[in-house]
Amino acid sequence: MGKFYNYAQRMNEIAHATFAEYREKSDAVKAAESRYNAYPRRNGADSSYMAKSARAEADLAEAKAQFEHCRRNLFENKRREIAAIRAELETAVRDTYAADPSKVDMQTLELLRS
Average pLDDT over residues 45-51: 84
- 59: nearest Cα among 31, 40, 79, 85: 31
Instruction: Give mean pLDDT, residues 34-60.
Output: 87
Residue 13 has pLDDT above 80, yes or no: yes
Instruction: List CB contacts of 40: < 8 A, sequence separation 6 or more.
Output: 53
Residue 30 and residue 66: Cα distance in Å, rounded? 13
What share of the chain in percent tops pLDDT 90? 57
pLDDT at 1 (0 to 100): 60
pLDDT over threshold 90, residue 2: no
Please tell me whether residue 31 adopts helix, strand or coil conformation: helix
pLDDT of 23 strictly over 90: yes
Instruction: Tell me: pLDDT of 92 over 90.
Output: yes
Least confident among 39-48, 53-62, 74-83, 86-95 = 39-48
**Mean pLDDT score of the chain, rounded to an integer?**
89
